[in-house]
């Protein structure tokens, strides 16, 4: 197991490559300034104890600023397992029926929601009403209307809403953003995002419209949408999209198999992207401008990510994405720190508005204008 000292040394090393860029100043300073660390610790309850919750929790073993202290689950066996693995007291264990009583528990600061997509909004609203910060896995909700309800609920309750955009803290990604901000690529002309894999078990919740809200676009396609925005440093103003479905048995009505979509930006740059549940080996971002380029392959996996630019290979050290994310979330929620690329509810809402527009473009065959 990685020691605390080794983790801090790696964290510091990854920050060294980014200090000159305004977008990275706050996260870099935060990453290298705590040895030994004796500041506030973010106490997190995980909601929905599936595979990704386990990945986050295991990554948090290396955190010094965040800790798993509670769980919310509908499966008693999972609760018992997590209690044994993470030393969680019984008073911090909840079901979906009784977690509103979090309000009277001062030992939990935030709840990280990793349930199926359609449950993000109703559970986030209840968590906010209980006075706890909300961390939602992406996509933040199944549509923009639900996303706005989450934002409104958190504002009303005076708590913060964050979205699990782990790549917004990833060092190689941030180096490309720094280079773009510094003008090293020149005027950006084009972005390509390819996001996809062949999905397995046809009975899983990701292929259930009521739980997932859609198909590949609501899962893997979000990466290309969000990546286009932070790589180009702009929000799109129009979208066009086309759907291809080769297996209507596995990918039933409302579950998109493959969608190609195009985004137009105020600067004149364009993006061409693909989201699919039926093709492997698709995890690539490519950015080109008048002076240079950047390519990341893989661009969004759990890592290590790999990439190169016209100046050479991207070599920043790899840190487990979820460890880095939760360390930075602690700084945001407890110390008022800023993220290098936004991770708040408004950021999540922009992606949801684009997803809504993509589905509309698929349905109508028309270009859909965006106002984000």
Task: Looking at the structure, tell me whether residues 153 and 201 fall in a common domain.
Answer: no
Q: Which residue has the tokens 């110390």?
A: 335
| 316 confidence band (pLDDT: 50, 70, 90) | very high
Q: How many domains does the chain have?
A: 2
Tell me whether residue 78 is in a domain: yes
Task: Looking at the structure, tell me whether residues 137 and 202 fall in a common domain.
Answer: no
**Does residue 11 carry a pLDDT above 50?**
no
Task: Looking at the structure, tell me whether residues 360 and 220 fall in a common domain.
Answer: yes
Do you know the residue count of the chain?
A: 372
Looking at 129, 163, 197, the residue that finishes a domain is 163
Give the pair of three-digit tokens for residue 48.
Answer: 């929905």
CA distance 333 to 326: 10
Tell me whether residue 14 is in a domain: no
The pLDDT score that the predictor gives to residue 14 is 36
**CATH number where 235 lies:** 3.30.360.10
| 36 confidence band (pLDDT: 50, 70, 90) | confident
Distance set, CA 372 to CA 113, 202, 268, 357, 368 (Å)? 25, 35, 17, 11, 12
Provide the Cα torsion 363, 367, 371, 372; round to 10°: 70
The pLDDT score that the predictor gives to residue 312 is 98
**Does residue 31 carry a pLDDT above 60?**
no
Mean pLDDT calculated for residue range 335-358: 97
Tell me whether residue 194 is in a domain: yes
Task: Looking at the structure, tell me whether residues 152 and 260 fall in a common domain.
Answer: no
Task: Looking at the structure, tell me whether residues 159 and 227 fall in a common domain.
Answer: no
Q: What residues make up the domain containing 46?
A: 39-163
The Cβ-side half-sphere exposure at 95, using a 13 Å CA radius, reads: 6
The pLDDT score that the predictor gives to residue 38 is 87
Task: Looking at the structure, tell me whether residues 142 and 228 fall in a common domain.
Answer: no
Tell me whether residue 324 is in a domain: no
**CATH number where 116 lies:** 3.40.50.720
Task: Looking at the structure, tell me whether residues 97 and 205 fall in a common domain.
Answer: no
Task: Looking at the structure, tell me whether residues 211 and 131 fall in a common domain.
Answer: no
The pLDDT score that the predictor gives to residue 20 is 34
Task: Looking at the structure, tell me whether residues 191 and 280 fall in a common domain.
Answer: yes
In whole numbers, what is the pLDDT of the chain averaged over residues? 92
- Residues forming the active site: 138, 223
Q: Which strands, in side-by-side order, build the sheet including 110-113?
A: 93-94, 66-72, 42-47, 110-113, 133-136, 161-163
pLDDT exceeding 70 applies to what percent of the chain?
A: 91
Tens digits of per-residue pLDDT, 105-148? Answer: 999 999 999 999 999 999 999 999 999 999 999 999 999 999 99
């Amino acid at each position: 197991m990685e020691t605390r000292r080794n983790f801090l040394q790696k964290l510091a090393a990854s920050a060294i490559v980014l200090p000159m860029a305004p977008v990275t100043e706050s996260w870099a300073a935060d990453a290298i300034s705590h040895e030994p660390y004796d500041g506030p610790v973010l106490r997190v309850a995980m909601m929905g104890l599936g595979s990704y919750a386990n990945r986050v929790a295991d990554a948090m073993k290396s955190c010094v600023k965040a800790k798993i202290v509670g769980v919310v689950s509908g499966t008693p066996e999972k609760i018992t397992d997590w209690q044994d693995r993470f030393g969680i007291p019984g008073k911090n264990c909840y079901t979906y029926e009784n977690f509103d009583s979090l309000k009277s528990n001062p030992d939990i600061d935030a709840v990280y929601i990793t349930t199926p997509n359609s449950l993000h909004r109703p559970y986030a609203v209840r968590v906010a009403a209980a006075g706890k910060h909300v961390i939602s896995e992406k996509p933040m909700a199944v549509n923009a209307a639900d996303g706005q309800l989450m934002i409104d609920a958190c504002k009303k309750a005076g708590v913060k809403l964050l979205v699990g955009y782990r790549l917004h803290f990833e060092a190689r990604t941030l180096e490309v953003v720094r280079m773009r901000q510094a003008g090293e690529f020149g005027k950006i002309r084009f972005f390509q995002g390819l996001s996809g894999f062949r999905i397995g078990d046809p009975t899983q919740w990701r292929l259930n419209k009521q739980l997932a809200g859609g198909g590949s676009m609501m899962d893997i396609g979000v990466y290309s949408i969000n990546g286009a925005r932070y790589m180009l440093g702009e929000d799109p103003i129009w979208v066009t999209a086309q759907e291809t479905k080769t297996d209507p048995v596995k990918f039933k009505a409302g579950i998109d198999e493959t969608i190609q979509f195009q985004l137009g930006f105020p600067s004149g740059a364009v993006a061409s992207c693909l989201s699919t549940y039926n093709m492997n080996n698709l995890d690539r971002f490519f950015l080109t401008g008048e002076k240079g380029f950047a390519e990341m392959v893989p661009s969004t996996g759990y890592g290590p990510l790999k990439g190169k630019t016209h100046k050479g290979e991207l070599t920043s050290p790899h840190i487990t994405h979820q460890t880095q994310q939760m360390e930075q979330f602690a700084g945001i929620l407890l110390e008022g720190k800023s993220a290098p690329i936004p991770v708040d509810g408004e950021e999540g809402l922009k992606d949801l508005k684009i997803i809504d527009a993509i589905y509309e473009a698929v349905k109508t065959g028309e270009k859909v204008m965006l106002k984000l």
